[in-house]
Amino acid sequence: MSGGDQLHVVTSDDISDNRRRIGRGLIWGSAGLLALVALAQAAQVLGWRDFGFANWRPTLYAYCLFATCLCWAQVIIRGEQGKRTLFVLPAALFVVSLTIFPLLFGLLIAFSNWNLSSLSGRQFNGTANLVQMWHDPFYWNALGNMVIYVAAIVVEYAIAFGLALILAGQIRARKFWRVAFLMPLMLSPVAVSWMIGKSMLEPRFGPLARLARALGVEQPSFFESPWMAKLTIMVLDAWTFIPFMMIMLLAGLQAIPKELQEASRVDGATGWKSFWEITFPLMLPVSVTAILIRIIFKLKLADIVITITSGGPGGATDTVTSFIFREYRERSNVGYGTMLAMVYLVLIVIGMTILMKLAARLTRPRT
């Protein structure tokens, strides 16, 4: 992926010692300022001395100053090389300060009992949250639901593949179909959960309920029984994300050289055989990418669950995210919620690593 096609430019940089010194001074000076401000704020929080800070904003400003100086000093110290670093450094600093730091901070929270609405503040409580999690049937139930939700991707994939095949074939008004099929992806899940979940599926007046009654279902209800509710949520989520998979698969199909299919036709393969022997194996890498990305998005599923069923009936539709959201809303305990989220993250990282290893093996060209 890297290495081959890169820009190799040799530039002669004449950087005086003085310039280097200024650059280093900039970095260390701003870092010192940041440390000083942070220390002063910490001192106030710990009650050693009152500096009159209302919040931690001054530290934030000092950090922004430090980040700017760090970028600027790259150019001063390293000249041309520094200018190249400047392409990646801002994004890297941004991501590091917005994920690594909160994650570390989250670890701290995860091992504490912290009710935001009570005045007592944060108390370290060791592994009590872990023990509580172990005995929390609703969390395990939510994890189990996630497995079922992820399994539904197989069906989504099949439908998306079918639609992509049709769209890649010879049809009229291709652009119209593409725009129409793309629409569900553009809609806000919250609006969709009202449009479909709360009105079209409404048991008395919703058009889908009427349709079900016309087809002979007595008293149709879509969110009463646990399995029906789970299925409805799956269908809704599939409705939103099938276009996404469809577009990726369509791009893959259009990249297959026409000669291959023509050659297979000359050799006498038709229909199913041509699909299974030629198209499907060629589409394997794209399929794997699409499915992996879809799994990642599926693991974040929450909006429609929160707004339609809020996890009900009896936690049957809960996802991990919606469960933690509710847990926080009801008890405003950040400590326990963060512990649940952290465990979820660990599970995801392990699961995704295994999946990516498997995918790499699956898509490796057979020789």
Partner 1 sequence: MTDTPAQIFRDSDSDRGFRMKWWAGRTAIYGVLALWAVICLFPIYWTATTSFKMAPNVMQGQMIPWPAEWTPEGDWAKKLFYEPKWKGWESIGLSPSTIGQESTVRAEFLKRFGNSAIVALSASTLAVVLGSLAAYGLSRFRYRFGFMKNDDISFFFLSQLILPPVVLALPFLVLYKELALLDTRIGLILLYTLTVLPIVIWIMKDQFETIPTELEEAALVDGLSIWGAFLTIILPIALPGMVAAFILSLVLTWNEYFFAALLTSTHANTLPVMVASQTGSQGINWWAMAALSFAAILPLVIIGVLLERFIIKGMAAGAVK
229 binds partner 1 (CB under 8 A): no
223 binds partner 1 (CB under 8 A): no
117 binds partner 1 (CB under 8 A): no
Residue ranges in 20-59 that form contacts with partner 1 under rule CB under 8 A: 54-57
Residue ranges in 157-176 that form contacts with partner 1 under rule CB under 8 A: 162-163, 166, 169, 171, 175
Nearer to partner 1, 231 or 341 (CB): 341
Residue ranges in 344-363 that form contacts with partner 1 under rule CB under 8 A: 344-345, 348-349, 352
331 binds partner 1 (CB under 8 A): no
124: which strand partners?
Answer: 112
Q: Rounded to the nearest whole angstrom, what is the least distance from the CB of residue 36 to partner 1 in the complex?
A: 18
Among 103, 148, 155, 360, binds partner 1 (CB under 8 A): 103
Q: Rounded to the nearest whole angstrom, what is the least distance from the CB of residue 240 to partner 1 in the complex?
A: 10
Among 222, 223, 241, 325, binds partner 1 (CB under 8 A): 325
Among 17, 47, 154, 205, binds partner 1 (CB under 8 A): 205
Q: Quick check: 291 and 157 in contact, CB under 8 A?
A: yes
Nearer to partner 1, 230 or 298 (CB): 298
Nearer to partner 1, 94 or 134 (CB): 94
Residue ranges in 283-312 that form contacts with partner 1 under rule CB under 8 A: 285-286, 289-290, 293, 296, 299-300, 302-303, 306-307
Q: Rounded to the nearest whole angstrom, what is the least distance from the CB of residue 275 to partner 1 in the complex?
A: 14
Residue ranges in 241-280 that form contacts with partner 1 under rule CB under 8 A: 243-244, 247-252, 255
69 binds partner 1 (CB under 8 A): no
